[in-house]
Structure 1
């Protein structure tokens, strides 16, 4: 995920990107901002009323309020009390409103971001997932999104209210005494400079924090997924130390960021003290000399604190902002990842799909430089069985990935029933293909849920028929809960052979015209292999089957066998033809049958 975290885009650029993403929520953002602004204006009003009250007590009939038509001091106090009530009530109402608006916006936006990121990730080609750990992706879609939510819950409102305070209080200051306003505002440039300085310093540090979170999540996911291997090698202590190292790296990254953000508060406090002392002393002298109204002096003193003390919280707000923008960059960078396998979307495979598969001069090379395939020509007539054999890494699985459009070929074309697969929708293409992989993945849930994964609305009779065809029904019936048996994460509660049979049944329930078996019997015992072979002989009728196999005994009945080596097809024919040719296939056959 280095492409996510080593982005040098500034935090404010990330904020602009976020606002562009959230343009559908523009009304909610504007409404929340207005409520935050009005709440803060109500919040600073009591300090002004205190100064006005002091003016009433000192000057009575000559006070500012008297000039508004309230002659007696009692009337003036009464009207100030009424104003105070409405101001406090208004502040409470708008605080309720801005909290509702910001928090609901945070919930809605984080949900949309997570959903959009997940749906976009599903459209990315397999090379994206092969180059990145699942832990990093989970951290981006979960922890990073939550970090942004925390900022929207409180940090956004805090930033807006600090700005409103500076503008509103500054306006009152310049009306009452331009000289004191200049003195009180003298620390503001230093505070703003400090904020931007610490922001620049903290930005890269928080990007590193997000990177370390991803590493830690990846380590946890890998270790929990591989717990059986860890136990079998008695590597618990070693893995605990490796996790501790990842955790300590995260702590250290946070420590560096905290050291920078924590230094901001003492600097701001000293700047605030300078502004407050200037107002306190100069204003006091002016009040004693009679050049400044006593009530105005009271307003200035109270508002100086209103103006400057909230700025101490700016460090915490900036800390939250930096963490959120570091997370935002990672989320939006994920959303910006290009989709290389485009889904044409509209055109469908012509039905009924016969299953005629053709590779024409197909070449493909992996971005990592791992060998791919070159100039592959293959034809599998509808209803035939093609077996692909060859050493690991020869290119067999690559052909399957290209057929399913996990990747697109660099050169050449792949056709099904004479239609180029790039011209049809991915749903139409993959809906016509059933895949049984060597690495069986069962979802945490019941056997029924896993079998019906390709067709959630399948009737129970169809589920049972598919299980019988795959020779899985016998062991399912023996389980106490039958189809309702929970398989556990990745099917951990079942044996390898049972998982393989369920995988085959799951593919068969789709009733695909093309069935792909990627070394489906390589990890099972002889009895299970024999049962799967019986299943294949039954399901191969009126269906195109493409199978990859290391055990040559499983493919002797195939209509055609292609030997792949170094990304090329070097031999092809039936089992008997290849034996008579006495090439690589025949040599491998002799080794596996003990004739060598």
Structure 2
């Protein structure tokens, strides 16, 4: 299926707008070529007087003929202006509406894709698709589509006039037109792979810029400005060279079109003049043909630019529609899970999982009774975080199952499942809004009293009250105006306000100071009561009071028990405890 067909299929709801816009473009072009016809009729009036074309229609007086031509001219210009307004309105509104719908659909679809999709994609490339490529389509619909329709309509209408007035001249003068139309788009289609490379290069630049701006503090700290500037220069140079290769090819068609246009115009001028001198066509008809040839052929010079814009847009559209056609491997549909019916008991049954060729979990099984606090400890890469990501269904395990209250989570509504889980990770995500906006994130309209209560439970109210605007203080992009500990407390307050049956803390205290860790720990002792809590931690001091601690090594659970029991076993947990506390084995 061609790019244009794919877009037309996607934009089914906008087909009426597209048809109307196309009709207005065609009618506008009809009015646009009529003044050239009137010029020929006027010449005919002046030269032939009583024997003119209008005289044969019953308007015998020459001055009356000119008055009629003046009135027709006014009507024609008014019609042309009216339909130009209508097609501009329709095309531009269609471009804006389709751009808006396509961006929302593409972004909405991307949000449904599993995390594995993002592991294989650069963020900058996705940003380029969701923004630059969709904008490229808008630019084409704003002007390019109308130009193509009007060139085609001009060819048909002018061709009809030519064949009516001088069939023998029409074949020669208009011979270049179909060659120009077909050849231009054939030529531009040949450079489609080059434009695809251009869009990919643009994505690389976006990725570099996004990554560097997010890490600007690190760049400054390591005085790596020149190093990163060189990276940007290389990416920009690659983009420039890729674009230059496409431009060299697309620019070559313009001289060819000019020569074809020149041939058609010269034939009309010379051969048409010869026919007029010998009386085979009238002087007025000759004037019409010369003006119409110029009106038709010279705008074809711009056809190369239009085709260039078309090909760039089609390449961009393909990239956007490819994203939309990416299958959602983890479906959102499933059995409803009403919040009031969930107790929070969990069972991990023979769970195995890997990232590509790297196996992370090996046949893991455990149960978590409802309302209990369970901790997972172990070295980096042992599979702790993978367990909770599978519970959240960020990924789908190829073997084994996870059950919530006896239900396989793969059979449950994904939205309902995640609404029962509060997730606080080490890398806290905050939106560029106020403190209150971030605490109530994803929960719609929430009263200020509920937000404040959640903040107090997370021991965040004190520092919030000291902020310049309290709960209305903007936190900056990704919460950059707050410290790491403050961001963690807001994330915890957000999870508390959600009031989930299952609370997950994935290294939530690993990057905070001792005071903040103690505050968060006090909060957890309160909020974990009556709900199932899964804690992943490197600091064993944060999990010593858990109902059960699971020690993981190489994707397997090697020890399980309370803090005291694990110390008594004198195994991996006890060794790790001694390492962190400095205790010596007796």
Per-residue deviation, 1:247: 1.8
CA contact (8 A) 1:349 1:424 kept: no
CA contact (8 A) 2:459 2:523 kept: yes
Per-residue deviation, 1:515: 0.5
Match of 2:395 in 1: 407
Match of 1:352 in 2: 341
In structure 1, how many angstroms separate the alpha carbons of the residues matched to 2:28 and 2:48? 31
Per-residue deviation, 1:280: 1.0
Match of 1:3 in 2: none
In structure 1, how many angstroms separate the alpha carbons of the residues matched to 2:42 and 2:257? 31
Q: Secondary structure in 1 aligned to 2:101?
A: helix
Q: Secondary structure in 2 aligned to 1:415?
A: strand
Q: Residue 47 of structure 2: which of 58, 73, 84 is its match?
A: 58
Q: In 2 relative to 1, CA 34–480 (structure 1 residues): closer, same or farther, beyond 3 Å?
A: closer
| 1:330 counterpart = 2:319 | yes
More deviation in 171-180 or 107-116?
A: 171-180
| 1:271 counterpart = 2:260 | yes
CA contact (8 A) 1:344 1:422 kept: no
Match of 1:315 in 2: 304
Match of 1:144 in 2: 133
Q: Residue 202 of structure 2: which of 213, 216, 224 is its match?
A: 213
CA contact (8 A) 1:385 1:560 kept: yes
CA contact (8 A) 1:349 1:419 kept: no
More deviation in 574-583 or 490-499?
A: 574-583
Match of 2:362 in 1: 374
Superposition map of 1:510-589 within 5 A: 510-589=498-577
| C-alpha RMSD over aligned residues | 1.6
Per-residue deviation, 1:435: 0.5
CA contact (8 A) 1:347 1:423 kept: no
Alignment gaps of 5+ in structure 2: none
Per-residue deviation, 1:262: 2.1
Match of 1:503 in 2: 491
Match of 1:483 in 2: 471
Q: Secondary structure in 2 aligned to 1:372?
A: strand
Per-residue deviation, 1:345: 5.0
Deviation track 1:80-117 (CA, whole Å, cap 9, x = no partner) reads: 22222211111111001000010111111101111111
CA contact (8 A) 1:15 1:325 kept: yes
Match of 1:429 in 2: 417
CA contact (8 A) 1:449 1:456 kept: no
Deviation track 1:450-507 (CA, whole Å, cap 9, x = no partner) reads: 1111434332222222222212222222333222222211111111111111111111
CA contact (8 A) 1:55 1:64 kept: yes
Match of 2:271 in 1: 282
In structure 1, how many angstroms separate the alpha carbons of the residues matched to 2:447 and 2:295? 69
CA contact (8 A) 2:501 2:531 kept: yes
Match of 1:256 in 2: 245
Per-residue deviation, 1:379: 0.6
| 1:460 counterpart = 2:475 | no
Q: Residue 289 of structure 2: which of 297, 300, 306 is its match?
A: 300
CA contact (8 A) 1:451 1:509 kept: yes
More deviation in 552-561 or 160-169?
A: 552-561
More deviation in 512-521 or 289-298?
A: 289-298
Deviation track 1:530-568 (CA, whole Å, cap 9, x = no partner) reads: 222222112221111001111112211111111222222
Q: In 2 relative to 1, CA 572–346 (structure 1 residues): closer, same or farther, beyond 3 Å?
A: closer
CA contact (8 A) 2:189 2:311 kept: no
| 1:182 counterpart = 2:164 | no
Q: Secondary structure in 2 aligned to 1:343?
A: coil
Per-residue deviation, 1:409: 1.5
Match of 1:447 in 2: 435
More deviation in 241-250 or 42-51?
A: 241-250
Q: Between Structure 1 and Structure 2, how many residues are aligned?
A: 584
TM-score (norm 1): 0.95
Per-residue deviation, 1:369: 2.6
Alignment gaps of 5+ in structure 1: 1-8
Match of 2:188 in 1: 199
Deviation track 1:379-415 (CA, whole Å, cap 9, x = no partner) reads: 1000111111121112111111111111121122211
CA contact (8 A) 1:454 1:509 kept: no
In structure 1, how many angstroms separate the alpha carbons of the residues matched to 2:333 and 2:444? 25
Match of 1:130 in 2: 119
CA contact (8 A) 2:133 2:317 kept: yes
Q: In 2 relative to 1, CA 349–362 (structure 1 residues): closer, same or farther, beyond 3 Å?
A: farther
